[in-house]
Amino acid sequence: MMNREDRIKEIIAKLTLEEKVSQLSYDAPAVEHAGIPKYNWWNECLHGVARAGLATVFPQAIALAATFDEDFIRKVAEAISDEGRAKYNEAVKQGNRSQYYGLTFWTPNINIFRDPRWGRGQETYGEDPYLTGRIGLAFMKGLQGDDPERLKVAACAKHYAVHSGPEKLRHVFNALVSKKDLFETYLPAFKLLVENGVEAVMGAYNRTLGEPCGGSTYLLKEILRGKWGFKGHVTSDCWAIRDFHEYHKVTKSPEESAAMALNAGCDLNCGCTYPLLTVSHKKGLVTEAAIDTALARLLRTRFKLGLFDPPERDPYAKLGKDVINCEKHRTLALEAARKSIVLLRNEKQADGSPLLPLDDSAKRILLIGPAAANVHTLLANYYGMSSRLVTILEGLTNKVKDKPAINFEYRQGSLMYEEVHLGFQAFGAAGHDDAPLYGLDGTDVVIACYGLDGAMEGEEGDAIASDSNGDRDAIELPPWQLNFLRRVRKAGKKVILILTGGSPIAFPDDLADAILFAWYPGEQGGNAVADIIFGDVNPSGKLPITFPQSTAQLPPYEDYAMKGRTYRYMTEKPLYPFGFGLSYSGVRFDSLELSAVSIAPGKQIMAAVTVTNTGSRDAEETVQIYVSRDDRTADDPITSLKAFRRAALPAGKTARIEIELDAAAFESVNAEGDYILAPGVYTVTAANAAPLPVSVEKGAARPVSAKITV
């Protein structure tokens, strides 16, 4: 039997130049005489198979990162790839080879969420390069499987590189970044996925250091294929190559733009420009050999997916419609939501006990807020469709239906998007700030659901309630929501605030007795919120991004320097730190022991952390390991996450958790962009939030540290 590479050469040899070019666009037509079926490369599965009807809707990507659980994230991605294969199988049976039914998924988004104003930050795994890499790698492996020669589906690392807004400038913007920040913050996750076999990489819309990312010799040739040895294919973002001449003005015509992208190493065009490669070739701007190289890479991916094999050789042929949004996957979506929700605040009441979880003393509960019955707070962006979307209102109603002693009421209270007086009317009085809130009389606890939804933040063109093309000009809770909540708070009732959204929200810390950040929690989000509020689940999510106190704490949005950004470089006190998240159990870190007092290049050490659950409930806690260089330069990170482990801690028990660190955990990047292992003393810290004074103030465990010499 002819091997794969020979088959690829044979196919290419049968094609005319025009036929070759036709295969370099995302909507590749069939070429029957060469045995090439029609194929559309464009598919999405950010948190479930998207835009193709029924699918399990998992929590948004930023919420998945909040689980800090690599093994679990792989399970989620495996479920998604099951549904992706099943949808493909069913579509092929019906002769449907259209967009959103292929096996090449343009996921995960491993950009760094460097600024909380970015509307697409919700698609990422947060602000930290290490966490982003580990969660991204787990998701990639869950999609692709373990056999590099036989892909379950193909994953795509995007958007390469240095891409995180502003959305309204993404087609014209030039991201200027130092080589230190480039290699220390923006590229590590891409490097990790490439080294572990990600099949595709997508270029970003913007320019980086002057070159359009999809046509950058520096990014694509020198780094991606040169330094990292990437063997897969590169795709453009959609219609990004057209931006070369229309917006970036680095070329003068479509054929010049097509040539620039192809010659730099972009193999596939999502857009309308690559058909002009025939003109580029006639003008001598590209060679047929370059076209053949790109086509060979694309055919190689299709062969790995088994698209040229007979059905009997397909190990995934039995995956059918019964797996799509099946009970097993819905249960997994519920578990994902439970694991991702972050408890930010849980103040003690007059009797000394915290407000959450609610006990039998809460006889009359009033649910208010526009996020309570809003399915858009479940879906986020790039979503599939489920017939079982459980809102917070529905989840809480399900929970109290077997508690007849509880009087449970719901009133919307105010609107999501703009300040109006309807909020006061909902309680029986309107028109002024001192109007009485009649609905609160006799209420024991108010559960207030506010925050953001997909109309307020997201990708350019999708967030229809955003004034900034999907971004947010300010990170504060919208003022009309804040004003209403202040009136509720002023009434003297116990308040549980549930915030939805995909990015940090700044708000007064004393706005509520208890605060849950629910993200965009997917189809089972309402049930997960109810499980946590009533104590059936102990919250365990951790923030994958710092919550600043205000917009004023942020550097200029268009500045891509990391100075002052994220927990690694921020010197001001945040509202909530990276890695933070409370539970209903007390946690104490007792000691950190390192297996050696020094480490050399290529070696490893073991960090043994002793941690105790001091509470009366079983818990899951995330042990986070941070490394700081004692004599760091002003440009080095203050501290950096280098390992984490989510562990089950039975009530009242102590566990010894061992985590391996290799010498790379102590590396830094110099001004030239080279990774170096600088000699000196380093501090290794074990904690359950970034080791900042504010972490302990907010209720995180006191960290423990040890020194090591490099």
Q: What is the tens place of the pLDDT at every residue in 260-301?
A: 999 999 999 999 999 999 999 999 999 999 999 999 999 999
CA 139 to CA 137: how far, in whole Å? 5
CA 166 to CA 558: how far, in whole Å? 7
Q: Please write the tens of the pLDDT for every residue from 643-684.
A: 999 999 999 999 999 999 999 999 999 999 999 999 999 999
Q: What is the pLDDT of residue 311?
A: 86
Amino acid identity of residue 427, one-letter, is: F
Residue 422 in this model has a pLDDT that exceeds 50: no
Q: Please write the tens of the pLDDT for every residue from 559-604.
A: 999 999 999 999 999 999 999 999 999 999 999 999 999 999 999 9
The total number of residues written for the chain in this structure: 710
**E strands along 430-476, which residues?**
445-451
Structure tokens at 629: 């260089």
More confident residue, 417 or 158: 158
Q: Please write the tens of the pLDDT for every residue from 450-503.
A: 999 999 999 998 999 999 999 999 999 999 999 999 999 999 999 999 999 999
5 is catalytic: no
Q: What is the pLDDT of residue 424?
A: 43
Task: Give the best-scoring range by mean pLDDT among 23-27, 360-364, 462-466.
Answer: 23-27
CA 517 to CA 546: how far, in whole Å? 13
Question: Which residues on neighbouring strands pair with residue 28, listed in sequence order?
Answer: 39
Residue 259 in this model has a pLDDT that exceeds 90: yes
As a whole number, mean pLDDT of residues 77-92 equals 98
Q: What is the pLDDT of residue 361?
A: 86
457 is catalytic: yes
More confident residue, 2 or 570: 570
SS3 annotation, 1-48? CCCHHHHHHHHHHCCCHHHHHHCCECEECCEHHHCECCEECCECCECE
Domain 327-533 and domain 587-709, same fold? Reply is: no
User: Cα dist. 226→191, 217, 265, 281 in Å?
Assistant: 12, 10, 11, 25
The label of the residue with tokens 């003297």 reads 492
CA 478 to CA 480: how far, in whole Å? 6
As a whole number, mean pLDDT of residues 2-7 equals 94
- Domain locations in the chain as residue ranges: 4-323, 327-533, 587-709
Task: Tell me if the domain spanning 587-709 has CATH number 2.60.40.10.
Answer: yes
**E strands along 76-225, which residues?**
156-160, 174-175, 200-203, 207-208, 211-212
As a whole number, mean pLDDT of residues 28-50 equals 98
Helix (H) or strand (E) holding 526: helix 525-533
CB atoms within 10 A of CB 664: 12
| 232-236, 356-360, 391-395: least confidently modelled range | 356-360
Residue 631 in this model has a pLDDT that exceeds 80: yes
CB atoms within 10 A of CB 139: 30
Q: Which of 44, 69, 123, 237 is catalytic?
A: 237
Mapped onto helix, strand or coil, the DSSP state of residue 425 is helix
CA 443 to CA 627: how far, in whole Å? 48
| 50-54, 349-353, 367-371: least confidently modelled range | 349-353
CATH of domain 4-323: 3.20.20.300
Q: What is the pLDDT of residue 441?
A: 85
Q: What is the average pLDDT score of the chain?
A: 95
Q: What is the pLDDT of residue 434?
A: 56
Q: Please write the tens of the pLDDT for every residue from 682-701.
A: 999 999 999 999 999 999 99
Q: What is the pLDDT of residue 425?
A: 42
CA 379 to CA 94: how far, in whole Å? 28
CA 334 to CA 56: how far, in whole Å? 10
* pTM score: 0.97
Q: What is the pLDDT of residue 431?
A: 39
CATH of domain 327-533: 3.40.50.1700
| 125-129, 305-309, 400-404: least confidently modelled range | 400-404
Q: Which of 457, 471, 621, 636 is catalytic?
A: 457
